[in-house]
Chains A and B, each alone.
Chain A
Amino acid sequence: MTKGKGSLWAKRSVALLAIGSLVSMFGVVSNADASSGKKVTITFWTSYSTSETPTLEQTLIPAFEKANPNITVKHVVFSHDDLYQKLLTSAMTNTLPDVVRSDLPWVPTFAQGKVFAQLDGKMAGFDKLAKTVYPGTLSTNYYGGHYYGLPLDTNTRVMFANMDAFAKAGITTVPKTFADMLADAPLLKAQGIYLYGDGGTGGWNVLPWIWSAGGAITNSTNTTAKGYINGAKTVSAIQFLADLYKAGAIPDSMLGASGGMSTYDGVAKGNYAMTLDGPWMNPIWGGGYPNFHPVEALVPAGAGGSSSVVGGEDINITAQSKNKPAAMAFVRFMLSKSAQVAMTKAGQLSVLSALSKQVTAIHPYYATFLKQLGTAKARTPVPNYSKIDSIIGTEVAAAMSGKVTAQAAMDEAAAQIEPLLK
């Protein structure tokens, strides 16, 4: 190179450098836009109740927004059933929110439809968070080899008893086994009291009985139902319920009769001596029936011990979200200890195993739930679960009402469920 040329080159390179640095400066600026400079709004759809919403909106979201000044969280609350329909229709048209709090059985459906985003390997801190939650709750987000969300809150069904109702029949302790229940039923019936009230015969309602009897719906890999849902142990659980119904220990409302009293009113008023339900009932009863003090106990044990069904909600990020980093930050925040403690106070049991001591200090009744969660199982995590649930509901009700034998009903259920697992 000649000197002249060289100097020219040098001049040019200075100019280039200058331009380059300008470009990189802009680059920096636009990077800042994405991460911290530009304000983004993420939308969060839930079905929190009127007693839980204030904690989220007045405590948690302001705290998150303060810590992340560039992120605004917009919370939209629907009723439980409406939220499911909204997710379906919005998924069709790319109008989903960024973050969703979804009921457990929905997750496989939306994971299969690629509506929820895969989080393992995509979200910073996922592995760490996955280790802090109860493994059973994490598994509800697992579909096809990946995780499509994280657990947000957990619960299970335990027995709620109205001791005044039991006392009327001269019973002083809650039933601990299936046999106890069969013994208590006639005593209560003589007093015009139903032993056990429930709102349906779907999986949520009858799985605790099936599992406690040692039965199952499917094999452990969820590929077949034959020999499980119509196996001897499952059938014995259904027979147990049918016997109780026949003995007048269960009201028609469990079989889907809409005219009956809800368990909420029935147990509190002493029309039903017991039910199985979740931890949200304590604050709800506290509000509606301040003089009613339910006693919590484990699900009565059958041949398979005492087992119940895992409930709760997961927190998921949608595949359509355009603000995934902000959404992930929000998910991490919702799983932080402070946020989990706040929601636990509002009635949403924390999924963080490290908080198990602390939550019982918040509400002593959580102790029974934590104990029950130790043996609780999740509903079959398959995309067709809502159909399976409906089949269980129909067939169990048919068996309980005595229209068909428990074995025949479960054989029919097995035949119908089998193709849905493929």
Chain B
Amino acid sequence: MASTSVLANVPHGPSKSSKAGFVPYIFLAPGFLLFLLTIIYPIFRALQISFYNWGVFPGSPSTFVGLHQYVREMHDPVFWRALENAAVYMVFTVPLQIIFGLAVAMLLVRKIPGRGLFRALFYIPVVTSWVVVSLLFKFLFSTDAGFVNWVLHSFLHLSSHNIGWLDTRWPSMITIGILGVWKGVGWSMLIFLAALMGVPDSLTEAAAIDGAGPWRSFFSVTLPSIRLTLSFVTIMLVIGSLNVFTSAFIMTGGGPQQQTEVVLSYMYHQAFQFLDFGYGSALAFTLAIIVFGISFVQMRLFRGGVTRVVR
């Protein structure tokens, strides 16, 4: 085979070849077929189920109800509350994870003694399972004998009484949010750390010579050069926060009186407690569309960011 024909079948560097033939498909086939079968096909099944009053048991009838489940959703106050709670969780956790994660990454980007240890300590919550940390935080934040109330009330005297962290809606959402931030800071720290290590020292040094203080240097040099990573982290965190489930489910179970339901915990209750899989699927599908819409807008806002980071 002539070397030219070999070259014709392969990409030419950064500007890729458009005559790749079947080769890329061979690379794609095993993974993508599995993905189509186990992820994309079930998505369509879920969509289909959301158009039915779905009979769970074999032989029990399923009746086609069209968009009824979606109409029902619009009139369901618990759904709106669940959506609001998920949105509040997002607004609370995403900025804090980015700010704290970036701050810790900035502190750890230079070689300092103990850097590896600090990185590991901040990362341990990330590698621990959601189930374990949710149980742990429920224990720590319990009202009468919880560690947190002991610190605030008896040790620091910041509070005159034991706070019912998990007893009413907003304190519960804050507690679930605190867990989200605590568990997530390590993840964003790590991604930022990787990006910051890619920022050439020469850039910040040049800024320093120009007389820029640390703050100005941060905003005019560091931040722009990690813009792509920032957009990636934001999009991933937004997706993750709207899909919050395990922590809310374990810590409050949606209670009291469904005040702290998030969309997925409400979906779980509808499907697995009330056997209303049609409605459950409609709830999940609505959430997926919302997440997709928000991500799409974000990608437009960040423009270059996404084509570079995600695409």
Complex contact B256–A92 (CB within 8 A)? no
CA distance A387 to B59 in the complex (A): 22
Complex contact A114–B59 (CB within 8 A)? yes
Chain A hits for B56, CB < 8 A: 88, 91-92, 113
**Shortest beta-carbon distance, A251 to chain B, in Å?**
8
Tell me the interface secondary structure of chain A in the complex: helix
| Interface residue A255 (Cβ < 8 Å from any Cβ of B) | yes
Complex contact A258–B57 (CB within 8 A)? no
| Interface residue A390 (Cβ < 8 Å from any Cβ of B) | yes
| Interface residue A287 (Cβ < 8 Å from any Cβ of B) | no
| Interface residue B263 (Cβ < 8 Å from any Cβ of A) | no
Complex contact B57–A397 (CB within 8 A)? no
| Interface residue A34 (Cβ < 8 Å from any Cβ of B) | no
Chain A hits for B258, CB < 8 A: 394
B166 CB contact (under 8 Å) in A259, A387, A398: A259
CA distance A99 to B25 in the complex (A): 49
Complex contact A85–B272 (CB within 8 A)? yes
CA distance A386 to B57 in the complex (A): 17
Q: Known contacts A113-B56, A115-B57, A271-B144: does B166 contact A258 (CB below 8 Å)?
A: yes
Nearest-neighbor residue (CB-CB) of B167 within chain A:
A257
Complex contact A109–B275 (CB within 8 A)? yes
| Interface residue B257 (Cβ < 8 Å from any Cβ of A) | yes
| Interface residue A198 (Cβ < 8 Å from any Cβ of B) | no
Q: Known contacts A92-B56, A114-B59, A260-B144: does B257 contact A255 (CB below 8 Å)?
A: yes
Chain A hits for B172, CB < 8 A: 258
Taking residues whose C-beta sits less than 8 angstroms from the other chain, chain A's interface range is 20 to 34
| Interface residue A402 (Cβ < 8 Å from any Cβ of B) | no
| Interface residue A252 (Cβ < 8 Å from any Cβ of B) | yes
| Interface residue A353 (Cβ < 8 Å from any Cβ of B) | no
**Shortest beta-carbon distance, B152 to chain A, in Å?**
13
* B9-17, B63-71, B221-229, B247-255 - interface stretch: B247-255
Complex contact B274–A256 (CB within 8 A)? no
Bitwise interface map of A from 81 to 98 toward B, beta carbon under 8 Å scored 1, else 0: 000110010011010000
Chain A hits for B251, CB < 8 A: 258
Complex contact B166–A257 (CB within 8 A)? yes
| Interface residue A261 (Cβ < 8 Å from any Cβ of B) | yes
CA distance A390 to B275 in the complex (A): 13
**Shortest beta-carbon distance, B56 to chain A, in Å?**
6
| Interface residue B165 (Cβ < 8 Å from any Cβ of A) | yes
**Shortest beta-carbon distance, A268 to chain B, in Å?**
12
Chain A hits for B252, CB < 8 A: 256, 258
Complex contact A259–B58 (CB within 8 A)? no
Bitwise interface map of A from 257 to 275 toward B, beta carbon under 8 Å scored 1, else 0: 1111100010000010000
A397 CB contact (under 8 Å) in B144, B165, B257, B273: B257
26 contacts between A and B (CB under 8 A): A84-B272, A92-B56, A92-B57, A114-B57, A114-B59, A115-B57, A252-B164, A255-B256, A255-B257, A256-B256, A256-B257, A257-B166, A257-B167, A257-B168, A258-B166, A259-B146, A259-B167, A260-B144, A260-B164, A260-B167, A261-B142, A261-B145, A386-B273, A386-B274, A390-B274, A394-B257
CB within 8 Å of A: which residues of B? Answer: 56-60, 138, 141-146, 164-168, 172, 251-253, 255-258, 269, 272-275
CB within 8 Å of B: which residues of A? Answer: 84-85, 88, 91-92, 94, 109, 113-115, 252-253, 255-261, 265, 271, 386-387, 390, 393-394, 397-398
